[in-house]
Amino acid sequence: MKIQGSYLLAGLMFAASGWSIQAAEVHVAVAANFTAPMQKIAIEFQKDTGHKALLAFGATGKFYAQIKNGAPFAVLLAADDKTPAILESEGNAIPGSCFTYAIGTLVLWSAQSGMVDDQGAVLKKGEFQHLAIANPKTAPYGAAAIKILTQLGLLDTLQPKLVTGENISQTYQFIATGNAELGFVAMSQVMFDGKLTSGSAWIVPTNLHEPIRQDAVILAKGKDQPAAKALVDYLKGKKATAIIQSYGYMLP
């Protein structure tokens, strides 16, 4: 066993020395809804390429402000397709590097089973204290939630019950702790391999909200970083797209 172990170690060291010629770190800003799949992808990415992706999770609007003010991110995985486009037009991103890496779906979710029916009628009944959404000003999933409520004609009646999380992760936290009975989160947060991981949910049909196209872009800071380009290529590859789909995202 001991000999085997040392062989393994030597092999690893050899592999590591092989990488070290070009292995690098790449700072990535990741939309909060994409947290779980991206953590998995980053592990595979490091295994396969040797590059290390350093991930920061948050609201897309916040990342936009940070990037404009010199944040060291090389790649942005946004929660929408507008932010990367604006960054590109303002010269903060590499022209032509923008692509859709996932298409997100909004889910009305409750941590209690039986709370949310599969038609979303629970919204009309209004028998709850708090409905959690992400901040519509900064989080695309929050803006989409407002659109759905407007389409359903329920925005005015439910407005007093709205509580907003700073990003979609905090929104999930409000619901998961039971402080808000239900709320709009990303499908990727509550479903895996097509199954609900807990509670009850209504997958909002696409006629009520447009699919949320999530674009990635290489930022100006990532211009001369091969690892940034490698990550973007990796996201388009088989392994990454399989992970992305397993979390309920669609692909373009």
Partner 1 sequence: MLSAVDLAAIWLTIKLATITTAILLIVGTPIAWWLARTRSRFKGLIGAIVALPLVLPPTVLGFYLLITLGPHGPVGQFTQWLGIGLLPFTFAGLVVASVFYSLPFVVQPLQLAFEAIGPRPLEVAATLRAGPWNSFFTVVIPLAKPGFITAAILGFTHTIGEFGVVLMIGGNIPEKTRVVSVQIYDHVEALEYAEAHVLAGGLLLFSFLVLLALYSRKGTRVWQ
Residue from 170, 188, 200, 214 in contact with partner 1 (CB under 8 A): 170
CB nearer to partner 1: pick between 104 and 142: 142
Instruction: For tokens 């979710």, name the residue.
Output: 109
CB nearer to partner 1: pick between 53 and 175: 175
Sign of the C-alpha dihedral computed for residues 147, 152, 153 and 157 taken in this order:
negative
**Which contacts of 87-90 are long-range, i.e. CB under 8 A and separated by 24 or more positions?**
87/217, 87/219, 88/217
Q: How far is CA 129 from CA 57, 103, 158, 183, in A?
A: 29, 31, 10, 11
Let me know how long the chain is: 252
Site for partner 1 in 185-244 (CB under 8 A): none
Residue from 9, 113, 137, 150 in contact with partner 1 (CB under 8 A): 137
**In 94-162, which ranges are continuous DSSP H helix?**
122-125, 140-151, 155-158
Angle CA 247–250–252, to nearest 5: 145
Residue from 49, 97, 135, 225 in contact with partner 1 (CB under 8 A): 135
Sign of the C-alpha dihedral computed for residues 169, 172, 174 and 178 taken in this order:
negative
Joined together, the tokens standing for residue 237 give: 């590859």
Question: By CB under 8 A, is residue 132 in contact with partner 1?
Answer: yes
Residue from 28, 93, 143, 180 in contact with partner 1 (CB under 8 A): 180
Question: By CB under 8 A, is residue 142 in contact with partner 1?
Answer: no
CB of residue 132 to partner 1, shortest distance in Å: 7
CA distance 51 to 228: 9
Question: By CB under 8 A, is residue 162 in contact with partner 1?
Answer: yes
- What does the per-residue mask of binding to partner 1 show for 32-71, with x meaning CB under 8 A? ---------------------------x-xx-xx--x---
Question: By CB under 8 A, is residue 82 in contact with partner 1?
Answer: no
CB nearer to partner 1: pick between 45 and 174: 174
Stretch that binds partner 1, among 14-22, 31-39, 99-107, 129-137 (CB under 8 A): 129-137
Interface with partner 1 (CB under 8 A): 59, 61-62, 64-65, 68, 129-130, 132, 135, 137-138, 162-166, 170, 173-174, 177-180
